[in-house]
Amino acid sequence: MQNNSQFSTLNSQLLYIHIPFCDSKCNYCAFNSYTNINHLKKKYFDAVKKQFLHEIDTNTEFETVFIGGGTPSTMSVDFYEKLFKLISPNIKNAKEITIECNPNTSYEWLKEIKNLGINRISFGVQTFNEEKLKFLNRNHSPTQAVKAIENAKKAGFENINLDLIYSTALDTKKLLTKDLNTAFSLPVTHISAYSLTIEENTKWENDFSKRKYDEELEIWFIEKIKEKFSQYEISNFGKPCLHNLGYWMGKEYFGIGSGAVGFKKWRMENGEWKIERYYTQNSVYEYLKHPTKYKYEYLSDEDIKKEKVFLGLRSIVGFDESILNKEEQKRVEILISENKLFKKENKIYSYDFLLADAITSYILS
Ligand code: SF4
């Protein structure tokens, strides 16, 4: 990728920074994360800096920043001081800067991070049940999770998310109710709830006994969360995360760090648009050697249409009816008459985000 931001559709974009370090590996985790490579943290900053300066000029303004992982809270405040010095010319008007944290994070760290300008924090709580935490191989306790959220509030964070995981073999209505009651008693503005998936290259690969397949329980859990926080995407509830909304709206984003993904739209000399997704090196070792080496995926008009429909239907974003052909529009009308979709100002929205997959297939069939 070259720095061709003058060809870009949008002046304002999203920035994602990936921190691939973790203290331990969770049993279900398929993210790009590593343990026992703490000695590479200093070099990692140098690589991030190199990639950032190669791709991003001072005219680029980010409206949101998301620092995800891995576990960003495994990095020292010193790392973030350097990082924010690097990105400060580009985040003057940023509305939202999020960082993901492990619940074993100290008050001092939270306070110092807040002072750098981070205004949204997301805790990987997963559950407040001791046994379930051990089952998942999380390295924090329920007490630490409660304390971390209270400390974040004390440190001045007004936007606090906690992640919960459900559909594990241990889940029951009783356990999940307790989790939600604890979550609701804390000063959180947002909940992300993820159904467990059994992924390749994880400790639980092919071991489906670790998952509970109980659709009634899943729907019940989602409805329980909705009693307190409104759902704006399949897995997200409460005050919307502007960064994630930007993804679903199809905004451009830069991906910085090992295993990060970016999304760019280029206006070619012949006036046509070229849309691509780019992937940095997944291996930290390779990324450290070649931080500006990418793999590319070019997206056709059909790919883009499918993404717009799918992402729009799984969230409050919706999609423009005008992107569909006549046959597809007819199928949308059928779904509207069946009360599965609704139309507002030429945009199509879904009543039930969980049906996004099936409805997208039907519309585009
Ligand atoms: S903390 Fe997150 S990224 Fe790290 S191993 Fe656990 S699930 Fe994966």
For the CA of 70, the nearest atom of ligand 1:
3
Q: Identify the domain containing residue 351 by its residue range.
A: 302-365
* Same domain flag for 309 and 202: no
Ligand 1 pocket: which of 19, 23, 28, 33 to mutate (most atoms <8 Å of CB)? Answer: 33
Residue closest via CA to ligand 1's atom 5 equals 25
Share of the chain above pLDDT 90, in %: 93
Average pLDDT over residues 58-80: 96
Dihedral over Cα of 317, 321, 323, 329: its sign? positive
* Burial environment of residue 13 by CB neighbours within 10 A (0 to 12, 13 to 18, 19 or more): buried
- CA angle 185/222/348 to nearest 5° reads 125
CB 43 within 8 A of CB 74: no
CB 165 within 8 A of CB 123: no
Cα gap 197→53, rounded to integer Å:
36
* Same domain flag for 233 and 355: no
- CA angle 57/61/64 to nearest 5° reads 130
Q: What would the pLDDT profile of 116-173 be if each residue is shown by its tens digit?
A: 999 999 999 999 999 999 999 999 999 999 999 999 999 999 999 999 999 999 999 9
* Same domain flag for 232 and 308: no
State the distance from the centre of ligand 1 to the C-alpha of 205, rounded, in angstroms.
15
Ligand 1 pocket: which of 31, 100, 101 to mutate (most atoms <8 Å of CB)? Answer: 31
Q: What is the pLDDT of residue 12?
A: 63
* Same domain flag for 233 and 311: no
State the distance from the centre of ligand 1 to the C-alpha of 224, rounded, in angstroms.
26
Return phi, psi of residue 38, to 5°.
-60, -25
Average pLDDT over residues 214-223: 97
Residue 275 domain flag: no
State the distance from the centre of ligand 1 to the C-alpha of 71, rounded, in angstroms.
7
CB 314 within 8 A of CB 234: yes
For the CA of 22, the nearest atom of ligand 1:
4
Q: Return the CATH number at 156.
A: 3.20.20.70
Share of the chain above pLDDT 70, in %: 97
The more confident residue out of 205 and 59 is 205
Q: What would the pLDDT profile of 99-110 be if each residue is shown by its tens digit?
A: 999 999 999 999
Residue 267 domain flag: no
Q: What would the pLDDT profile of 247-301 be if each residue is shown by its tens digit?
A: 999 999 999 999 999 999 887 778 788 899 999 999 999 999 999 999 999 999 9
Q: What is the pLDDT of residue 177?
A: 98
Residue 293 domain flag: no
Average pLDDT over residues 69-98: 97
Q: What would the pLDDT profile of 311-334 be if each residue is shown by its tens digit?
A: 999 999 999 999 999 999 999 999
Q: What would the pLDDT profile of 175-194 be if each residue is shown by its tens digit?
A: 999 999 999 999 999 999 99
Sheet holding 190-195, edge to edge: 231-233, 236-238, 190-195, 159-166, 120-126, 96-101, 61-69, 12-19, 253-256, 261-267, 273-279, 295-299
* Same domain flag for 187 and 74: yes
Residues with CB under 6 A from ligand 1: 22, 25-26, 29, 31, 33, 69-71, 124
State the distance from the centre of ligand 1 to the C-alpha of 350, rounded, in angstroms.
32
State the distance from the centre of ligand 1 to the C-alpha of 35, rounded, in angstroms.
10
Q: What is the pLDDT of residue 59?
A: 87
Q: What is the pLDDT of residue 2?
A: 44
Residue 6 has pLDDT above 80, yes or no: no
For the CA of 29, the nearest atom of ligand 1:
8
* Same domain flag for 30 and 123: yes
Question: How many domains does the structure of the chain reveal?
Answer: 2
CB 176 within 8 A of CB 205: no
Tokens of 246: 């930007």
